Amino acid sequence: MAPLTCATRHATCALPAGSEAGLEVACASCGLDPLCNVLDYAGEQSGVPDGLLLRRRPVARGETLFHYGDPFHSVFAVKQGSVKTYIPRPDRAAQLVGFHLPGELIGAGAMAGESYPYTARALENSRVCEIRLGLLPESGRPLQQIQRAVIELLGREVAFNNELIAALVHQSAEQRVAGFLISLSERLQRRGMPCAEFNLSMSRSDIGNYLGLASETVSRILTRFSKADLIDVRHKRVQLRHPETLAGIAE
């Protein structure tokens, strides 16, 4: 078997201009990297099924990675573009769970259970890496490292969610939107992507749904920030002019 390489260790390749969104995250900055490295190692020890790693798979805007309730098989990482996750609800609007930027994981919450607790859908033409954890053998030494990595990932997820809860529950609409922009910017920065100016690939309703606000409120606050010269919004393009002030608003 050919030695496996990390799912995301590849330079950007040429693609039809305009068909894909933004830059690609470097492997070293990707949240999947620890797992990728472990699997590299596992590969050389053999015992890891082939086809375990699917790298830089293109996903068209609107396409889904998996649906709510599907049996768990893979953890995904966004390589390029963006993905939203949501819980479809009968006779109600879907509940938005999260937005996933380059370098971020999708489906981590399902690793412990049998099925995905939400649907994942691409917000734009994107690329994702996929690790088919479902194919992993249940024994052998590498498993320990894999488990360790999974624990690490889940722990981060828990911490992030705890912060999010604290934030969402107690903040005003203005604070939430400011915090949302700052969060996006910081997450892009962490992955080495341009973070002062970026795309709001999700709709205002998606943002509102995520933050627990009406889309009109989101819109109003964005223009308010814009008039205060804190940001510059044009269509889906946002530029942060005074991130410090925004961060101050978000507290």
Binding site for DNA (CB under 7 A): 172-174, 203-205, 208, 212-220, 222-223, 233, 235-236
8 A C-beta contact, residue 107 and residue 66: yes
Which one of the spans 22-30, 122-130, 150-158, 227-235 is the region binding a second copy (CB under 8 A)?
150-158
Residues 177-236 that bind a second copy (CB under 8 A): 210-212
Tell the smallest beta-carbon distance from residue 58 to a second copy (Å): 28
Q: Which one, of 206, 161, 189, lies nearest residue 247 by Cα?
A: 189
What does 195 bind: DNA, a second copy, none (CB cut-off 5 to 8 Å by kind)? Answer: none
Decide whether 49 or 88 has the Cβ nearer to DNA.
88
Distance, in Å, from the CA atom of 63 to the CA atom of 60, rounded to the nearest integer, reads 5
HEC string for 197-250 = EEECCCCHHHHHHHHCCCHHHHHHHHHHHHHCCCEEEECCEEEECCHHHHHHHH
Which one of the spans 45-53, 60-68, 122-130, 162-170 is the region binding a second copy (CB under 8 A)?
162-170
Decide whether 33 or 206 has the Cβ nearer to DNA.
206
Question: Does 169 participate in binding a second copy (rule CB under 8 A)?
Answer: yes
Residues near a second copy (CB under 8 A) are: 87, 95, 97, 108-113, 117-118, 143-144, 147-148, 150-152, 154-159, 161-162, 164-166, 168-170, 210-212
